[in-house]
Amino acid sequence: MQGGHDLGGKQGLGLINPEPEPIEPVFHYDWERRVFALTLATGMLGEWNIDQSRFARERQHPAAYLNNSYYENWYEGTCRLLLENKLISKNELESGRAEGAVSLSLRVPSKKDAIKILSSGGPTRMDVGTQPKFNIGDSVYVRKKFTDGHTRVPAYVQGCIGEIVMHHGGHVFPDTNVTGNRKGEHLYSVRFGEDSLWGSNEDKNELYIDLWEPYLELK
Amino acid sequence: MANDHDHTEPPSDIALRVKALESLLIEKGLVDSAALDEIIEIYENKVGPRNGAHLVVKAWSDRGFKQKLMEDASSAAASLGYLGRQGEHLRVVENTPELHNLVVCTLCSCYPWTVLGLPPAWYKSAPYRARAVSRPRSVLEEFGTDLAKDVSIRVWDSTSEMRYLVLPLQPKGTEGWSEENLLKLVTRNSMIGVELAKTPDQIQSMKQGID
């Protein structure tokens, strides 16, 4: 969906105002530490995947998404996942107190488990079972994708023409993974000239972006 | 917008809500306190941009390592012990005198955690995510980075699980320096691509500023 998160090329958002690198802390408030850890730890329960957790943050009202700080959006997403997966109830979230029995079928990661999960990561390379449709150098058109679901093709490249520059192999396809259907699709790095995206080429700059095969068609 | 919010709003309400959520999850046995503390410890104190800088200075001083890094960055990083979450599919992109690389994630905040740690607040902010793809040169200017007009910019939007790390140009006059001295030149921002590596002069004047 083209929610508040789909920000490439949006205007009127003001300056970046970066904090100088030498003085910027990893977390600015203690609650940010806790949200970060709670999000990762509840993710380790295995009840949802990374695309589902991204989709949970994206489904907020765009005004809320933009108004929230980054970790407030993580908090919102994590609460939504916990509620939708019925690990907590609305009443419990409001009161902060548990009501009724807790399902014991979940394996709650210990400190040791967490270390192991984080250091082994979760590769998304996956066999597709078909040959890639596109070759390096092919000109491709990015299909329009107006969906209520989760996708990783940003609005600003849709309808534009680019060039295949790399084939990354098969990777888990987010658009189906979000519904629990984990399957691989060919992933490409696609190059766009500035003129194709923004209608100007003063700078001769270019964009490289990773796009899955179903987003593309041969031009 | 989100960035300003981070620094100016009192966090009281959200702090209370997060506290309530944590105690609820602990009471329900859905999270383990020691695991939470360890997750924070890892990303606040163990994993950070020094890992990426190590890759960069090794690439600058060891041709064989650089080749390995450019061919298969995940394996090259793993050979130095940098592996895990958000670094499974790492790719290093090299700056040249004609081409400058810049990394962004317009849809969320994808970032190579294993080699840079967690992203800075500005990387996750709406203005950076919006403008890095459409007006990269003005973004660089905001970071005080003035590229020559004939240097083109290649922006990498991290929409997949591929993670990108910029290999900055080695500053002139630092050939043959020790890894320890080279490390002082490599900033986190230079590996995202919003800045260049520090020059020996810049390091010298920083030192004088401190003295």
CB contact under 8 A, A208 and B157: yes
Q: Which of A44, A189, A210, A215 to mutate to test the interface with B (most CBs of B within 10 A)?
A: A210
Contact status, residue B198 vs residue B185, Cβ threshold 8 Å: yes
Contact status, residue B134 vs residue A8, Cβ threshold 8 Å: yes
Q: Which of A26, A68, A210 sits opposite B160 (nearest CB)?
A: A210
**DSSP-derived 3-state class of residue B201:** helix
pTM of the model: 0.95
B120: nearest Cα among A35, A20, A118: A20
* ipTM score assigned to the predicted complex: 0.96
Q: Which of A87, A114, A121 sits opposite B83 (nearest CB)?
A: A121
Given this model, what pLDDT does residue B1 score? Answer: 42
Q: Which one of the listed residues B108, B134, B152, B205 is annotated catalytic?
A: B108
Angle (CA) A131 A134 A137, round 5°: 140
As a three-state string, the secondary structure of A111-127 is HHHHHHHHHHCCCCECC
| Second-level CATH architecture of A21-120 | Orthogonal Bundle (1.10)
Per-residue pLDDT of chain B (211 residues; tens, 9 = 90+): 444 455 555 446 999 999 999 999 999 999 999 999 999 999 999 999 999 999 999 999 999 999 999 999 999 999 999 999 998 999 999 999 999 999 999 999 999 999 999 999 999 999 999 999 999 999 999 999 999 999 999 999 999 999 999 999 999 999 999 999 999 999 999 999 999 999 999 988 887 765 4
Cα–Cα distance for residue pair B24/B22, rounded to 1 Å: 5
Which residues 132-151 in chain A show a CB within 8 A of chain B? none
The distance of B143 to chain A (nearest Cα, Å) reads: 8
Cα–Cα distance for residue pair B71/A45, rounded to 1 Å: 35
- CATH 3.90.330.10 domain extents, chain B: 49-210
Under DSSP, the state recorded for B44 is I
User: What tens digit of pLDDT does each residue of B86-97 get?
Assistant: 989 999 999 999
B37: burial class by Cβ within 10 Å (0-12, 13-18, 19+)?
middle
Angle (CA) A18 A20 A26, round 5°: 85
Share of chain A above pLDDT 70, in %: 98
- Which one has a higher pLDDT value, A90 or B204? A90
B17: nearest Cα among A185, A6, A74: A74
Terminal C-alpha separation, chain B: 37
Q: Which of B29, B31, B83 sits opposite A41 (nearest CB)?
A: B31
Domain boundaries, chain A: 21-120, 139-218
The CATH number, out of the four listed (3.30.300.30, 2.30.30.50, 3.90.1150.10, 1.20.120.80), of the domain defined by the range A139-218: 2.30.30.50
Among left, alpha and beta (phi > 0; psi -120 to 50; other), residue A212 is beta
Catalytic residue status for B108: yes
The single-letter code of the amino acid at A209 is I
Q: Domain B49-210, CATH 3.90.330.10 — does that match?
A: yes
As a three-state string, the secondary structure of chain B is CHHHHHHHCCCHHHHHHHHHHHHHHHHCCCCCHHHHHHHHHHHHHHCCHHHHHHHHHHHHHCHHHHHHHHHCHHHHHHHCCCCCCCCCEEEEEECCCCEEEEEECCCCCCCCHHHHCCCCHHHHCHHHHHHHHHCHHHHHHHCCCCCCCCCEEEEEECCCCEEEEEECCCCCCCCCCCHHHHHCCCCHHHHHCCCCCCCHHHHHHHHHHHC
